[in-house]
Amino acid sequence: MVGLENGATRAFDAVSRIVRETRAEQDAGSYWRAVARQTAECMGYRAAALGIVNGEGMLEFTVFGEAPDCHDEKACREAPALAPDGSWISAPLTGIGRSIGTLICYGHGAGAFAADDLRVHVELCDCLAVILEAQMATENLAQALHQDPVTGLYNRKHLLKRIDEEISRTERYGGQFAVVFLDIVGLREINAAFGHGMGDAVIEAVARALKRSFRGSDAAARFGDDEFAVLLPGADKPRGQIVANRISRTVACTPIARDGVRMQGPDLDWCVVAHPVDGSTRDQLLAAREDASMS
């Protein structure tokens, strides 16, 4: 694609621009998405998939551009093979004594990358790793302010903030997003029959299903005692319905045990609202949620 010297210059320019253009991002999902976007745009790639190791040791991918839609680690390990033209390049993101993720980039057309491009890509990833590890440390300090202590998901306040940010983003750049709302059916009765310990186990099981179902750019939150919500940037209502169905089926098939009591996972009532079709403001979207019949 390019000579080594010119490519290295582009790599350093890309890192400088990534730092500059992502400085205003306030949450992890927006930050990782901005990094993927700036990487693809600055380096002239067709797409970029940024994978970051989460607290459970799994890769969560944020994809920008025309690349495989990666929702879990297995899918993203297979992502290069799914590139339509077979043109991709990948390198690890290595922090201090540990791997923090990987960066997969997709070129324009078959044979888009040469050996020099791999060296430039590795250099880019080495520089990015320093920046991203510092960002992760900052996020860990801030996490307690917007995290639900029982589930480890975002809390209601933070999700509402994320919705406002997505509204501003779509108004500026165009696009859409969806929000999936899910309620646990019969949680009060479960608490009454088996105790709050079993109720907490049910809540934790739903939270685990949510964590396995979203991309790095998505945001899942405990929205109330028995309520959850998932923000899906870039998704329309049909996509949100697919996600809601998948989560509901996963929870229903999950056995739950606590203090010698066993039960099958509960049913979930859910609805999906989308911006801008269901509202252009946060209040309008929440009102649409109240008006929607839970499926």
Q: CA-to-CA distance for 207 and 167, rounded, in angstroms? A: 25
For 84-120, the pLDDT digits (tens) are 556 889 999 998 888 889 999 988 877 778 888 888 8
| DSSP code, position 107 | -
Q: Is the pTM of this model over 0.85?
A: no
* Predicted local distance difference test score (pLDDT) of residue 164: 96
Contact (CB, 8 A) for 26 and 135: no
Contact between residue 254 and residue 148 where contact means Cβ atoms under 8 Å apart: no
The pLDDT value recorded for residue 1 is 47
Q: In the chain, which residues fall in CATH 3.30.450.40?
A: 4-143
Q: Is 89 helix (H, G, I), strand (E, B) or coil?
A: strand
Q: What is the pLDDT of residue 84?
A: 53
Start and end residues for every CATH 3.30.70.270 domain found in the chain: 154-291
Given this model, what pLDDT does residue 279 score? Answer: 94
Let me know: does 104 contact 51? Beta carbons within 8 Å.
Answer: yes
Q: Which helix (H) or strand (E) holds 84?
A: none
* pLDDT for the residue numbered 67: 57
Of 126, 120, 119, nearest to 102 by C-alpha is: 126
Q: Which segments of the chain are extended strands (E)?
A: 47-53, 59-65, 88-94, 99-106, 154-155, 177-184, 219-222, 227-233, 255-258, 261-264, 268-275
Q: What angle do CA 166, 213, 199 make, to 5 degrees?
A: 105
- Give the SS3 label for residue 73: helix
**Which pLDDT score, from 0 to 100, does residue 7 have?**
59
Spans of the chain, pLDDT less than 50: 1-2, 70-78, 80-82, 295
First-to-final CA distance of the chain: 51
Q: What is the pLDDT of residues 145-192, one digit of tens each?
A: 688 888 989 999 999 999 999 999 999 989 999 999 999 999 999 999
Would you tell me which CATH number, out of the four given (3.40.50.300, 3.10.110.10, 3.40.50.720, 3.30.70.270), belongs to the domain 154-291?
A: 3.30.70.270
CATH 3.30.450.40 fits 4-143, yes or no: yes
